[in-house]
Structure 1
């Protein structure tokens, strides 16, 4: 079925309006910034954008504008921006987890070393006490008596 020039112009205007909305980031729920969504938003059959079909030049225009925005660093599809943000967050969290695991390993090693030193020091103290008790050369000091300060007898 052939369409009139007026219908074709009207369709192109709808396509360009939908194209502008998509490129501004006004993505409908469940859609993307792609030809399929463009066709759905403009209420045009998607096959009209391919091959020698009547709106293939608009597909080319849409893809050029989308590529230009992407090269400029603008993300027109908020889902793509969210995916990129979440990927960066996952990478940062993995790095943080690796650092935390390294810190835990270091602290565990330090704890083992500290416990080993304490055990060695305890054994040395026990040994010295036994040696001191066996050799009566050590004179024990008298323990301090509790006296009240300021009282005279």
Structure 2
């Protein structure tokens, strides 16, 4: 069915008004900042936006304006902005987690090395204590008492 010039002008005005609302971020529940939602908000058949149909130029205008906003860093759809923000946050958290895992591995290796050195030092001290009476110029230190308080 053909529409009159007046109806086409009214439809184009509704499409442009819906386009402005969507690009300002006034996204209806269950919608996105896309052609499907634009068509639904304007009350126009979505197929009229494709090919050589009457509103193809409006689709191109909408996509160009949307692309310009995205280039400027503005996302009219708050959900897309949230998704973008959460993806960036997720990437940052994964990086922090990787760095923490590396730090934990380094600290565990340091702890193992320190324990090994302490064990070796303890063994050396024990060996020297048993070998101590053989040398005449070595004095034995008193061993530590396990009692608490004055002896």
Is TM more than 0.5 here? yes
TM superposition shift of 1:20: 0.3
Provide the secondary structure at the position in 2 that maps to 1:54. coil
Q: How do 1:126-137 residues align onto structure 2 when only pairs under 5 Å count? A: 126-134=126-134
Alignment partner, residue 88 of structure 2: 88
Residue 20 of structure 2 is aligned to residue 34 of structure 1: no
Q: 1:33 to 1:5 in 2, by over 3 A?
A: same
The aligned counterpart of 2:61 is 61
- Identify if the C-alpha distance between structure 1 residues 48 and 141 changes in structure 2 by more than 3 Å, giving closer, same or farther: closer
User: How many Å apart are 1:40 and its aligned residue?
Assistant: 0.8
* Partner residue, 2:109: 109
TM-score of the superposed pair, with normalisation by structure 2: 0.84
User: How far, CA to CA, are the matches of 1:53 and 1:141 in structure 2?
Assistant: 101
SS in 2 for 1:126: helix
Count of residues in Structure 1 that have an aligned counterpart in Structure 2: 143
TM-score, with normalisation over the residues of structure 1? 0.83
Query: Deviation per CA, 1:107-141, whole angstroms, max 9, x where unpaired?
Result: 11111111111111111111111112455665568
Higher Rg of the two aligned structures:
1
Where does residue 20 of structure 2 map in the other structure? 20
Describe the SS at the equivalent of 1:80: helix
Contact 2:132 2:140 in 1 (8 A): no
* Structure 1 runs (4+) greater than 6 angstroms displaced: none
Structure 1: state its 5+ residue gaps: 147-153
Superposed displacement of residue 75, structure 1: 1.3
Q: Alpha-carbon deviation of 1:7?
A: 2.0
Structure 2 unaligned segments of length 5 or more: list them.
143-149
1:68 match: secondary structure? helix
SS at match of 1:108: helix
